[in-house]
Amino acid sequence: MLILNASTTGSTSTARHDRRITSKVPPQRDFSFSSAHARLIIMATEYAMTVGLEIHVELKTNTKMFCNCLNDPDEKRPNSLICPVCCGSPGTLPTINKEAINKIVKVGLALNCAIARYSKFDRKNYFYPDLPKGYQISQYDLPLCFGGKLAISPDKTVRIERIHMEEDAGRLQHGNDDKHSLVDYNRAGVPLMELVTKPDITSSEQIGQFAKELRLILRHLGASDADMEKGQMRVEVNISIRPKGAQDLGTKVEVKNINSISAAMKAAEYEFKRQVEALERGDTIVQETRGWDDTNNSTYSQRIKEGSADYRYFPEPDLPPLTFTDERIAELRAELPELPSQRRERFMREYGLNAAQVEVFTTARHLGDYFENVVSELGLSAQVGKPELDTLAANYIITEFPPLMEAKGLEIDDLGGLKITAENFAELVAKISNKELSSTAAKTVLKEMSETGDDPDAIMQRLNLGQISDASALTDAVDDVISTNPKPVEQYKAGKTEVLKFLVGKVMAATKGKGNPEIIMELLKQKLT
Amino acid sequence: MTLKPSPRYYWIGIGLFALFFLGGYYMGGNSLVVKHVLTILKPFFKKIIGDNSDLHVLLSILLNNTIKAFAVVLFGFFFWIFPSFFVLVNGGIVGFITRIFLDRGGTFLLLTAALLPHGIFEGAAFFIALAYSFWLSTRFMRKLTHAEPFRPYFYAALRAYAKIILPLLIIAAVIETFVTPLIMGWVQ
């Protein structure tokens, strides 16, 4: 409720009086609505974004979904991976790719979905040149997986409505002269998983989080490389807006042609803004399919959205239904690898790594596996029970390996090309930890290891890089620096302690970086007091 | 001598509120008016919601409402002008907000959750203050036309403010600050 004073609307004498009285009210209350009214009006006039995602993922299988043609996304020769089955020649019959079915079920299990005990394929009828059969084999009312969820942050979970199996269409290439188009059916019939989320996403950031986490899971499962730039994962954003206080969802607009996660986020932001402006102008939102224009960072109307009736779905007569027993599902569940969320939790628990380090080792899985091998080697070399070694190893892998790999033109998962075995690297980490090597020298040794594949001992010997930690061996250099730098010495004695670092640096230079800085600092302190 | 307003003064307040509520509700359906009014008001609303602490909100609501209610009672004697204007603005705004909220998809349940819990107490305080205000106005005219005493009525109104209206406003402010947001959250 409210008690609203006339001072907000008029200039009567009483209002003036009241303004004087209320001058002691805190500034944000100078307008005298009660907070409940403020909340109501904000809820009525500010808009919330509601997003559901449809994500198509090409599965990584040996052959296509319903024939024996190879499923090779890297094949560049057009129409070289086709056969009468995937081209829909009359008289041909499809057969179901078991590998694809197993993979999609595993994805469903990884996403906490229920697996249908009985499922079937349906024909989705539409005409388009990239669809050689004139219909697409898909699933309509009985998807393989349904009712899952994916946690994208500690406080946000997105529900998954369904995951179903279908076949991909071919690829069209339109000529510049508007007179002809080229079609490549290599992709036609490739196993395609479609995942549909509930409209639980409320921001563009959450779109990014969901897509990245899903991609990570797909890669961990080996279900797909999910490379969006290659079209292996295609995100469609179904977005609607509504006033924050409204219960019913607004009109849904589907945005397609999105080729990266960041583009999906940008598309949602653009659409949100466009729809808010339209409603504020008094226009209505039309249910339609829009395309994403990456060049102009905007969407454009493509077509009015079809309903499912337009596709005239009916059960696929050439394929048998699919049935799953509890035992079969249990077998597939047992084959699931460690999932990203499990890996994060384990890396934190077992190695005491921080969230950022864990994220690197989860996303760049090969680096994580390598790290675990190094930790294992450190354990074998009786360094067990030293968690700081794990952290040290993690830091060096995360900060030093990527530049070394980049310099050699290696991909992040091509650790073999780096020539640094886990055993040698563990030895290096132990030496750094034991102060046999300074950090500067360690980098030199690491670089040499990546070039030659030699072990650290051999390199240290060859380059004469061992760290000098023997105080007696450093005394001469320390004495020399004290005698040749009288001014800093005087300043230190006068209480300017930061000068000590300068003197340490001088001794380090004198020992060509081999002196142990901690020992040097101790020696300097002893001699200057 | 009865030193409290008769029921008709309450009915006058309630009736005027209902009338201006309907007026506000009607105006809330005019998109041009809505657009214009919201342009002015929305920044204030956002500032009110802001990042203030619960205690800050509580004190702000309480201070605001107690001062306004006191002003209604205090200036009521002056020929109905202040209470009438007060009920016009308040009734109009509640109607206006109700219309906008419902027109934009807000549910009646959520609206009720936002207004009812504290509104029971604040509304009661509001209508009691109005009744005393109209009553004092009548008494003041009687003083001018019939030379009847006015001071006892005035003191009675101040006592009612201290003993009834103020406690109701305190309860309302506490509920609005701590309970209403929870209920709105549940309903949403």
Burial class (CB in 10 A: 0-12, 13-18, 19+), A152: buried
A25 touches chain B (CB under 8 A): yes
* Residue B165 to chain A, least CA–CA distance (Å): 12
* Residues contacting A98, CB < 8 A, separation 6+: none
What is the C-alpha separation between B50 and B44, in angstroms, rounded? Answer: 10
Mean pLDDT of A326-340: 96
Query: Which pLDDT value is given to residue A5?
Result: 39
Residue B52: which pLDDT band, with cuts at 50, 70 and 90?
low
A43 and B CB contact within 8 Å: yes
Q: First vs last Cα of chain A: how many Å apart?
A: 75
**Whole-number Å distance between alpha carbons of B83 and B81:** 6
- The answer to whether the Cβ–Cβ distance between A37 and B104 falls below 8 Å is no
pLDDT reading at B140 higher than 70 = yes
The answer to whether the beta carbons of residues A468 and A514 sit under 8 Å apart is yes
Write out pLDDT tens, residues A117-147.
999 999 999 988 999 999 999 999 999 999 9
Contact B60 A29 (CB under 8 A): yes
Give pLDDT, residue A9.
Answer: 32
Strand-by-strand arrangement of the A191-197 sheet: A114-115, A145-153, A156-167, A191-197, A47-58, A233-243, A253-256, A288-293, A298-304
| CA A65 distance to own-chain centroid | 27
The pLDDT > 70 percentage for chain B reads 95
Of A357 and B47, the one with more pLDDT = A357
Q: Which of residues 422-481 of A touch B (CB under 8 A)?
A: none
Contact between residue A84 and residue A188 where contact means Cβ atoms under 8 Å apart: no
pLDDT value at residue A21: 31
CA dist., res. A429 & res. A162, Å (int):
47
Q: How confident is the model at residue A323 (pLDDT cuts 50, 70, 90)?
A: very high
Out of A379-388, A398-407, B52-61, which region has the weakest mean confidence (pLDDT)? A379-388
Instruction: Pull the structure tokens for residue A141.
Output: 């009312």
Most confident of A21-30, A90-99, A494-503: A90-99
Distance from CA of B81 to the nearest CA of A (A): 9
From chain A, the residues in CB contact with B115 under 8 A are 1, 36, 40
Q: Which of residues 93-152 of B touch A (CB under 8 A)?
A: 93-94, 97, 100-101, 103-107, 110-111, 114-115, 118-119, 122-123, 126
**Quick check: A4 pLDDT over 60?**
no
Residue with tokens 């986490």: A213
Q: Which residue has the higher pLDDT, B53 or B183?
A: B183
Distance of CA A156 to the CA centre of its chain: 16
Q: How confident is residue B47, by pLDDT bands cut at 50, 70 and 90?
A: low
Query: Closest to A6 (Cβ–Cβ): which among B60, B86, B110?
Result: B86
- pLDDT, residue A7, reads 35
How many other C-beta atoms are found inside a 10 Å radius of the C-beta of residue A310?
Answer: 11
Cβ–Cβ contact A41 with B under 8 A: yes
Band of the pLDDT at A221, cuts 50, 70, 90? very high
**How many contacts (CB atoms, under 8 Å) link A and B?**
166
- Whether residue A99 contacts residue A61, with contact meaning beta carbons closer than 8 Å, is answered with yes
Contact criterion met (CB below 8 Å) for A194 and A164: yes
Give the residue extent of every domain in chain B: 7-187
Residue B100 per-residue DSSP state:
H
Chain A nearest CA to B149, separation (Å) = 24
| Average pLDDT score over chain A | 86
What token pair was written down for A474?
């450093």
> Given 3-state DSSP classes, what are the helix, strand and coil percentages for chain A, each rounded to the nearest 5?
45, 20, 35
Residue linked to tokens 């960072």: A297
How open is the CA angle A364-A366-A367, to the nearest 5 degrees? 70
| Polymer length in residues for chain A | 529
Cβ contact, residue pair B100, A39, below 8 Å? no
**A-chain residue closest to B93, CA distance:** A4
CA–CA gap between residue A493 and residue A485 (Å, rounded)? 13
**Is B60 in CB contact (< 8 Å) with chain A?**
yes
- Which is more confident, A500 or A202? A202
Whole-number percent of chain A with pLDDT over 70: 92
At A409 the pLDDT is 85
Q: Which residues of chain B neighbour A14 with C-beta distances below 8 Å? A: 71, 75, 78, 81-82, 85
* Partners of A57 in the β-ladder: A193, A233
CA-nearest of A78, A103, A302, A303 to A188 is A78
Segment A325-350 mean pLDDT: 94
What does the block give as tokens for B155? 């003191």
Q: Which of B65, B64, B70, B91 shows the shortest CA–CA distance to B136?
A: B70
- The percentage of residues in chain B with a pLDDT greater than 90, rounded to a whole number, is 34
- Asked if residues A217 and A339 have their Cβ atoms less than 8 Å apart, the reply is yes
Q: When comparing pLDDT for A434 and A393, which is higher?
A: A393
| pLDDT surpasses 90 at A184 | yes
Instruction: Note whether B57 contacts A35, CB cutoff 8 Å.
Output: yes
Residues 213-242, chain A: which have Cβ within 8 Å of B?
242
Residues from chain A that touch B69, judged by Cβ atoms under 8 A, are 3
Distance linking the first and last C-alpha atoms of chain B: 51
pTM to 2 decimal places:
0.77
The answer to whether residue B120 scores a pLDDT higher than 50 is yes
Interface-testing mutation among A20, A31, A34, with chain B (most B C-beta atoms within 10 A): A34
The ipTM, to two decimals, is: 0.79
Amino acid letter for position A177: D
Q: What is the pLDDT of residues A422-460, one digit of tens each?
A: 999 998 998 888 877 878 888 889 998 988 888 888 888
Instruction: Write the DSSP string, A263-305.
Output: HHHHHHHHHHHHHHHHHHHT--PPPEEEEEETTTTEEEEEEEP
Q: Do A40 and B114 touch (CB under 8 A)?
A: yes
Give bridge partners of residue A50 from the DSSP assignment. A240
B173 or A414: which leads in pLDDT: B173
Q: Select from A510, A508, A523, A526 the least CA-distant residue to A438.
A: A508
pLDDT at A31 > cutoff 70: no
Report the distance separating Cα B89 and Cα B91, nearest Å. 6
Nearest to B104 among A22, A37, A243 (CB): A243
User: Does the pLDDT at position A8 exceed 60?
Assistant: no
Question: With contact defined as beta carbons under 8 Å apart, do A146 and A119 qualify?
Answer: no
Spell out which residues of chain A touch residue B99, defining contact as CB-CB under 8 Å.
Answer: none
